[in-house]
């Protein structure tokens, strides 16, 4: 069973073909890494999966259902997306960043504890370190408890120690029966951490 | 902020000092050329034509006394009483001095001095009449001069319901005649007039009741901005009051001293000449600030609304509107809305705005909301599109996205532009002068014109500068409120 599956999808920006007839599969409860050189279209693929870009051809299945304009809003609720630049809301504190997604103090506090953000609840994102910001972004994506989590280059801004910490986090997420898709440049990380590697 | 206050104090001290000088200079000037006094020559004993055609009267004597040392020529110009304001404003006459009673309307349209007489509407009866109080007037015949203040006072007084009959006659002499011959029991008359006749005709024929129907003050009027002349007259009135000359003139016409002065203290207070030109400036400042605050408070949300409406289907109309507002002079818009709209066919009558100030506020609001809409557009444009995408994927509603995420970020980005726009607005407020609202700059200009003194301009410089510093200071404070 695949959490996400693409069947012969094509994406063009104008006449510029980014990928053609692409078949990508991510198995449920596994970590799938996407590897590829810069500018190859990794981010674009993720954006297509999350419904942020329209595809020119082919089909995308999420949790077995074919993505179309009607069920888009509902299907996308299965996906948590951690952007390359995180896209935290700069005008909201850590706690507010979580609670604006879902107004549940209990859930937010649990995630804050889990991601060791205690004491930072009322800080604005600009006052956090890179690793802390990333954990806020992950926590925020988890507020809606999505089945699939997509990370765009999560390790590029982290040092070795933080990469280890990140690895622990995603292992934990797998233990919660989630599916993980990670785009990365880091071949070693991909080899060591993931169940499948997809080369683009 | 401290610096600003220090600056203000130093500024006022210098102002005070310099204006003292200019005041002394003005006093030291030689005799001026001429002064024209407007009057209605049918008001004995204040001003009227004597048997040999000369204009005489209590007011005439008083005016002569006041102006004789400082003016070469004093001209008494009979005018149409109904157009007295026009005569003043068009500078055909300098002063109205003719038993002019103080009314709220006149305070608006002209500049009035402190009162020099207190006039009451009194009841005149025959010396041997049994009428001794207003009560006794029940079921009596009362005679009044047609259209006089006395006639109005009687009509408005509660006693008017209980009298037997009111007889209206053309002039005062006929009224006195009626009473003397017993055709009427009493007449209502100005106290000053009554005193004059009593003095002239002898006190044995009539008596005046102690109770009055109403009372009013007689004042002198000058052109609205002519504070200098007003102060000159007031100080001279004080002078002839102290020297006894005033009571001498009063004795001559009324047989007693009825010259009126406010108590010494208050008249001293009102003669703080040094900083007096600041009064009209501050009056104007009030208008300026009121306009500024109302426009700022209203046009910001309106601008935000305009920005949002642009996204809708009919948004193109809003874009045209913004272009119209930004592409044409504010002055033209002001003139069009206040003077132009009433001439629109069919709808002009209904759309016309009577109040100058309201018309001004509306125009400024429309104009500035267009600018604010553009400022907000810039602010929202510079927000990263990742913010929209993140909230879309997180299922955050449009309303929450706008108010909780985008608006605060846009406000932070827009703050410097809004500050800049506010500083422009405070300076633009002076344009409202074009539709006849007296504000800071126009009042300043008027004082300079009438006093030939440059200080008001310098005061205006200072005031605008201080307001701008305060605005900038407030926005600096507001910017620090954005902690993100
Ligand atoms: N909105 C867009 N319009 C036009 N071209 C785009 C757009 N987004 C991306 N591209 C192009 O698509 C190609 C793939 O971009 P993408 O961001 O997916 O690369 P990537 O594999 O994520 O690279 P990197 O590893 O550097 O992040 C690039 O050549 C880029 O110029
Ligand atoms: Mg990328």
C-alpha–C-alpha distance, residues B187 and B145, integer Å: 9
The per-residue pLDDT for A83 is 95
Confidence of residue A173 (pLDDT cuts 50, 70, 90): very high
> Which residues from A are below 8 Å from B405, CB to CB?
89, 91-92, 100
The per-residue pLDDT for B14 is 61
Cβ–Cβ under 8 Å, residues B378 and B417: yes
Q: Extract the tokens encoding A16.
A: 């510029």
Shortest alpha-carbon distance between residue A71 and chain B (Å): 14
Confidence of residue B23 (pLDDT cuts 50, 70, 90): very low
Please tell me the distance between residue A40's alpha carbon and the centre of ligand 1 in angstroms: 7
B389 touches A at CB < 8 Å: yes
- Is the CB of residue A13 below 6 angstroms from any atom belonging to ligand 1? yes
Residues B329-338: tens digit of each pLDDT: 999 999 999 9
Cβ–Cβ under 8 Å, residues B106 and B241: no
- Is the CB of residue A184 below 6 angstroms from any atom belonging to ligand 1? no
Please tell me the distance between residue A176's alpha carbon and the centre of ligand 2 in angstroms: 27
Nearest to A90 among B389, B396, B484 (CB): B484
Confidence of residue B26 (pLDDT cuts 50, 70, 90): very low
Q: Whose CA is nearest to atom 28 of ligand 1?
A: A39
Residues B271-318: tens digit of each pLDDT: 444 457 788 888 899 999 999 999 999 999 999 999 999 988 889 999
Please tell me the distance between residue A86's alpha carbon and the centre of ligand 1 in angstroms: 17
Q: Whose CA is nearest to atom 30 of ligand 1?
A: A39
- Spatial CA neighbour of B47 closest among B174, B218, B175, B214: B218
Q: Extract the tokens encoding B353.
A: 């705005």
Residue B476, φ and ψ in degrees, nearest 5? -60, -45
Does A101 contact B395 at a Cβ distance shorter than 8 Å? yes
C-alpha–C-alpha distance, residues A28 and A16, integer Å: 32
Q: Starting from the edge strand earliest in sequence, which strands make up the sheet with A148-152, in order?
A: A79-82, A148-152, A179-184, A31-35, A196-199
Cβ–Cβ under 8 Å, residues B432 and B291: yes
C-alpha–C-alpha distance, residues A41 and A178, integer Å: 25
The per-residue pLDDT for B400 is 95
Please tell me the distance between residue B476's alpha carbon and the centre of ligand 2 in angstroms: 39
Residue environment code for B51-68, b if the CB has 16+ CB neighbours within 10 A, otherwise e: eeeebbbbbbbbbebbbe
> Which residues from A are below 8 Å from B409, CB to CB?
90-91
Among A44, A151, A156, A182, say which to mutate for ligand 1: greatest number of ligand atoms within 8 Å of CB.
Answer: A44
| A-interface mutation test, from B392, B394, B409, B414, most A Cβ less than 10 A away | B394
| Bridge partners, B143 (sequence order) | B167, B187
Nearest to A101 among B386, B394, B409 (CB): B394
Residues B374-424: tens digit of each pLDDT: 999 999 999 999 999 999 999 999 999 999 999 999 999 999 999 999 999
C-alpha–C-alpha distance, residues B446 and A12, integer Å: 70
Residue environment code for B408-420, b if the CB has 16+ CB neighbours within 10 A, otherwise e: bbbbbbbbebbbe
Instruction: Calculate mean pLDDT across residues B32-39.
Output: 86
Nearest ligand, CA of residue A19? Answer: 1
C-alpha–C-alpha distance, residues A4 and A26, integer Å: 5
Among A9, A10, A18, say which to mutate for ligand 1: greatest number of ligand atoms within 8 Å of CB.
Answer: A18
Confidence of residue B29 (pLDDT cuts 50, 70, 90): very low
| Pairing of β B47-49 and β A148-152 | unpaired
Does A89 contact B390 at a Cβ distance shorter than 8 Å? yes
Residues 309-328 of chain B whose Cβ lies under 8 A from any Cβ of chain A: none
Residues B133-164: tens digit of each pLDDT: 888 888 899 998 887 788 888 888 888 888 88
Cβ–Cβ under 8 Å, residues B71 and B30: no
The per-residue pLDDT for A158 is 83
C-alpha–C-alpha distance, residues B57 and B192, integer Å: 12
Cβ–Cβ under 8 Å, residues B432 and B439: yes
Residues B68-94: tens digit of each pLDDT: 888 888 989 888 777 888 888 888 889
- Spatial CA neighbour of B188 closest among B125, B258, B138, B100: B125
Does B396 contact A87 at a Cβ distance shorter than 8 Å? no
Does B404 contact A125 at a Cβ distance shorter than 8 Å? no
Nearest to A91 among B389, B391, B408 (CB): B408
The per-residue pLDDT for A182 is 95
| B-interface mutation test, from A89, A92, A97, most B Cβ less than 10 A away | A89
The per-residue pLDDT for B274 is 45
Q: Pick the range with the lowest mean pLDDT from B19-33, B109-123, B214-228.
A: B19-33
- Dmax of chain A from CA atoms? 50
Confidence of residue B21 (pLDDT cuts 50, 70, 90): very low
A149: number of Cβ within 10 Å: 23
| Pairing of β B42-43 and β A2-13 | unpaired
> Which residues from A are below 8 Å from B387, CB to CB?
87, 89
C-alpha–C-alpha distance, residues B453 and A174, integer Å: 85
* pLDDT-above-90 percentage for chain B: 38
C-alpha–C-alpha distance, residues A167 and A175, integer Å: 12
The per-residue pLDDT for B273 is 44
C-alpha–C-alpha distance, residues B406 and B400, integer Å: 9
Nearest ligand, CA of residue A36? Answer: 1
Cβ–Cβ under 8 Å, residues B443 and B283: yes
Shortest alpha-carbon distance between residue A147 and chain B (Å): 13
> Which residues from A are below 8 Å from B404, CB to CB?
92, 100
In the predicted structure, residue B264 carries a pLDDT above the cut 90: no
| Pairing of β A79-82 and β B186-190 | unpaired
- Spatial CA neighbour of B368 closest among B450, B311, B297: B297
Please tell me the distance between residue A43's alpha carbon and the centre of ligand 2 in angstroms: 4
C-alpha–C-alpha distance, residues A20 and A56, integer Å: 9
Q: Pick the range with the lowest mean pLDDT from A69-73, B211-215, B260-264, B425-429.
A: B260-264
In the predicted structure, residue A22 carries a pLDDT above the cut 90: yes
C-alpha–C-alpha distance, residues B324 and B187, integer Å: 66
| Pairing of β B111-112 and β A179-184 | unpaired
C-alpha–C-alpha distance, residues B157 and B169, integer Å: 19
- Dmax of chain B from CA atoms? 104
Q: What is the DSSP letter of B259?
A: B
C-alpha–C-alpha distance, residues A79 and A179, integer Å: 9
| Pairing of β B71-78 and β B95-101 | unpaired
Q: What is the pTM of this model?
A: 0.64
| Higher per-residue pLDDT: B267 or A125 | A125
Q: Pick the range with the lowest mean pLDDT from A7-21, A43-57, B164-178.
A: B164-178
Closest-CA residue in chain B for A100? B396
The per-residue pLDDT for B275 is 53
| B-interface mutation test, from A80, A91, A145, most B Cβ less than 10 A away | A91
Among A16, A22, A43, A199, say which to mutate for ligand 1: greatest number of ligand atoms within 8 Å of CB.
Answer: A43
Closest-CA residue in chain B for A52? B389
User: CA A59, A60, A61, A66: dihedral to nearest 10 degrees?
Assistant: -50
The per-residue pLDDT for A67 is 92
- Mean residue pLDDT of chain A comes to 93
- Mean residue pLDDT of chain B comes to 85
Does B389 contact A83 at a Cβ distance shorter than 8 Å? yes
C-alpha–C-alpha distance, residues A112 and A94, integer Å: 9
Instruction: Calculate mean pLDDT across residues B101-122.
Output: 86
The structure tokens 């102690």 sit at B210
Shortest alpha-carbon distance between residue B461 and chain A (Å): 40
Look at phi and psi of residue B412 and say left if phi exceeds 0, alpha if psi is from -120 to 50, else beta: alpha
CA distances from B349 to A113, B240, B339, B341 (A): 69, 54, 12, 8
Q: What is the DSSP letter of A37?
A: -
Closest-CA residue in chain A for B397? A101
* pLDDT-above-70 percentage for chain B: 90
Instruction: Calculate mean pLDDT across residues A51-75.
Output: 92
Confidence of residue B172 (pLDDT cuts 50, 70, 90): confident
Q: Extract the tokens encoding B30.
A: 């030689």
Confidence of residue B269 (pLDDT cuts 50, 70, 90): very low
């Amino acid at each position: 069973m695949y959490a996400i599956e693409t069947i012969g999808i094509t994406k063009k920006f104008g006449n510029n073909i980014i990928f053609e007839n692409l078949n990508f599969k991510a198995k449920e409860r596994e970590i799938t890494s996407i590897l590829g050189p810069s500018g190859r279209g990794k981010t674009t693929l993720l954006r297509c999966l999350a419904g942020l870009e329209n595809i020119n051809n082919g089909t995308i299945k999420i949790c077995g259902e074919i993505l179309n304009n009607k069920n888009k809003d509902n299907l996308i609720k299965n996906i948590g997306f951690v952007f390359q630049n995180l896209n935290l809301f700069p005008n909201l504190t850590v706690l507010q960043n979580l609670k604006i997604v879902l107004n549940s103090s209990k859930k937010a506090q649990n995630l804050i504890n889990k991601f060791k953000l205690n004491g930072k609840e009322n800080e604005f994102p600009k006052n956090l370190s890179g690793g802390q910001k990333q954990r806020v972004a992950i926590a925020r994506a988890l507020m809606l408890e999505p089945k699939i989590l997509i990370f765009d280059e999560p390790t590029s801004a982290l040092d070795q120690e933080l990469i280890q910490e990140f690895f622990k986090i995603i292992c934990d997420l797998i233990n919660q029966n989630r599916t993980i898709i990670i785009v990365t440049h880091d071949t070693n990380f991909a080899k060591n951490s993931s169940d499948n590697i997809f080369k683009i | 902020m401290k610096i600003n206050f220090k600056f203000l104090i130093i500024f006022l001290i210098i102002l005070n000092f310099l204006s003292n000088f200019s005041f002394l200079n003005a006093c030291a000037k030689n005799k001026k050329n001429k002064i024209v006094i407007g009057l209605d020559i049918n008001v004995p004993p204040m001003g009227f034509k004597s048997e040999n055609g000369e204009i005489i009267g209590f007011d005439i004597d008083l005016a002569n006394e006041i102006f004789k040392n400082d003016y070469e020529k004093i001209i008494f110009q009979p005018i149409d009483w109904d157009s007295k304001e026009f005569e003043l404003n068009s500078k055909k006459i300098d002063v109205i001095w003719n038993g002019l009673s103080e009314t709220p309307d006149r305070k608006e349209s002209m500049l009035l001095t402190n009162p020099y007489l207190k006039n009451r509407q009194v009841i005149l009866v025959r010396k041997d009449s049994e009428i001794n109080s207003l009560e006794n007037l029940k079921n009596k015949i009362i005679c009044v001069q047609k259209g006089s203040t006395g006639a109005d006072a009687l009509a408005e007084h509660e006693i008017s319901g209980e009298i037997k009959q009111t007889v209206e006659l053309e002039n005062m002499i006929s009224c006195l005649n009626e009473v003397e011959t017993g055709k009427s029991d009493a007449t209502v008359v100005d106290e000053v007039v009554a005193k004059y006749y009593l003095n002239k005709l002898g006190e044995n024929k009539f008596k005046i009741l102690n109770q009055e129907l109403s009372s009013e003050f007689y004042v002198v009027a000058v052109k609205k901005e002519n504070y200098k002349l007003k102060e000159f007259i007031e100080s001279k009135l004080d002078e002839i009051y102290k020297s006894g000359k005033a009571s001498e003139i009063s004795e001559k016409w009324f047989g007693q001293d009825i010259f009126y002065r406010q108590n010494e203290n208050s008249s001293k207070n009102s003669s703080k000449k040094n900083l007096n030109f600041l009064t009209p400036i501050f009056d104007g400042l009030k208008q300026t600030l009121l306009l500024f605050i109302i426009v700022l408070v209203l046009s910001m949300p309106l601008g935000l609304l305009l920005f949002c409406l642009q996204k809708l289907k009919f948004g193109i109309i809003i874009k045209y509107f913004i272009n119209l507002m930004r592409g044409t002079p504010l002055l033209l818009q002001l003139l069009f809305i206040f003077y132009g709209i009433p001439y629109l066919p069919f709808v002009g009558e209904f759309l016309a705005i009577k109040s100058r100030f309201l018309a001004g506020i509306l125009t400024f609001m429309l104009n500035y909301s267009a600018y604010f809409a553009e400022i907000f557009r810039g602010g929202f444009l510079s927000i990263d599109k990742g913010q929209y995408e993140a909230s879309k994927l997180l299922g955050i509603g449009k309303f929450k996205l706008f108010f909780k995420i985008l608006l605060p970020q846009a406000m932070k980005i827009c703050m410097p532009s809004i500050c800049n726009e506010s500083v422009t607005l405070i300076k633009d407020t002076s344009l409202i002068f074009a539709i006849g609202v007296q504000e800071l700059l126009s009042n300043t200009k008027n004082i300079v014109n009438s006093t030939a003194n440059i200080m008001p301009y310098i005061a205006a410089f200072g005031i605008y500068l201080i307001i701008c510093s305060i605005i900038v200071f407030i926005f600096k404070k507001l910017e620090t409120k954005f902690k993100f």
